[in-house]
Amino acid sequence: MREVVIVDGVRTPIGRAHKEKGDLRTLKAPDMVSALIKAILQRNPKIKPEELDGIYIGCANQTGSQHGIARLTWLGMGLPVHVPAVAVEMQCASAMAAIHSVANAIIADMGDMYLVGGVEDMLHVPMGFNIEFWNQIAKFWNPFELPMGMTAEKVARTYNITREEMDKFGYESHIKACKAWDAGKFKDEVVPLEVTYEDGSKKVIDRDQGPRADTTIEKMAQLKPAFLPPEQSKGVTAGNSSPLNQGAALLLLMERSKADKMGLSYHLKFKSGAIAGVDPTIMGMGPVPSSQKALKKAGLAAKDIDVVEINEAFASQSIASLRELGIPQEKANLWGGGIAIGHPLGASGARITVTLNSIMKTDRKDAKYGLATLCVGFGQGAATIWERAK
């Protein structure tokens, strides 16, 4: 059977989607994707763009500057027109769905070498842009229970997650991310970006904007609930939720024997992947059935997983999902997660895969199996299991 390996993985620093304070505020999606394509090609000179079998880019909001994001970015870089480009949409799992598509294409012998990743610009293409809900949905679901924050509240209520647990989880996300950055752990995966601001000044951004070394449990506890009145809320706040972000991530996936022939190194190979649906009012539980399906396909149990990267949209869903899967929190998001680092929707499936690859080739060289998993808006989940390539 043909095998799929990760030859390289990079990402941008992740910025806040803030029109005045965002580190990446003057950049748009094609700027970020093109920077990563250039980086992959520069880091891997044996890879010629004309020899690629395609580029797949996940993106949740494919409008504005993110319309036709894969093909238009490729063409805008002056790269060979015969290389196809595909944009993939599965909300927060867009990039992971793209990874699954490429893995399947390689296994099915449709190609040997692909660039695959995701991007999201939540500043210039904000959530809710030109969205119209199909009225039929209201016949089956309460539209007021479907917004992401409301689902996080329901998960906390349904799975008995306390405010204290959520705040602690959010706090630890920041502390782990700051420690990882200070120790230089992200250096190899993050591509610095030169940003020109409105006044003409330039700055090289080489670090995620979100992680806060000055955060404390006490500060977390002072934050008011973000989605419900205090008397109705289980305690979902801005401190234990992921922010709005700008960012992108990209991987070079190849058929294993092709990589070997080209003398390219790798650490992880694709083991299995799965997507699953859940009640959309508790959409954050999507990682549970999707991970269980991926584990079953791989012939593994939850105890076999050594390292986990979960998107961390909300502390409530991360805690509940890991608990339901029977995976200790100590195995998850070793370098911080989406609450601190950021959660640029369609990019996150690739971002957590890039970081999982980094962790397993540095800090956790002893780890055999890694799981990357996400919840997905409107009640879905996606998961991918990677195995150390011997």
Please say whether the dihedral angle defined by the alpha carbons of residues 108, 114, 118 and 124, taken in this order, is positive or negative.
Answer: negative
Q: Which tokens belong to 364?
A: 């956790």
In whole angstroms, give the CA distance from residue 298 to residue 152. 30
Residue 267 designated active-site: no
Between CA 236 and CA 337 the distance in angstroms is 17
Q: Which residues contact 210 (CB under 8 A, 6 or more apart)?
A: 14, 16, 177, 243, 245, 340, 341, 342
Residue tagged 């670090």 (tokens): 207
For residues 268 and 281, give the distance between their C-alpha atoms in angstroms, rounded to a whole number: 35
Choosing from 92, 100, 124, 178, the catalytic residue is: 92
Task: Return d(Cα 339, Cα 243) in angstroms, integer.
Answer: 7
> Cα–Cα distance between 319 and 24 in angstroms, integer?
30
Q: Which of 100, 124, 174, 343 is catalytic?
A: 343
Residue 33 CB partners (closer than 8 Å, separation 6+): 57, 69, 70, 73, 117, 119, 248, 250
178 catalytic residue (yes or no): no
For 310, residues 6+ apart whose C-beta sits below 8 A from its C-beta are 287, 318, 321, 322, 332, 333, 337, 352, 372, 373, 374
DSSP-H helix ranges across 50-127 = 69-76, 94-107
Question: Partners of 390 in the beta sheet?
Answer: none
Round to whole Å and give the CA distance between 11 and 90: 20
3-state secondary structure (DSSP) of residue 41: helix
Catalytic residue, from 59, 174, 178, 375: name it: 375
Sequence-distant (≥ 6) Cβ neighbours of residue 67 within 8 angstroms = none
Q: Is 343 a residue of the active site?
A: yes
Residue 323 structure tokens: 């608990």
| Distinct helix (H) and strand (E) counts, the chain | 11, 12
The residues assigned a catalytic role are 92, 343, 375
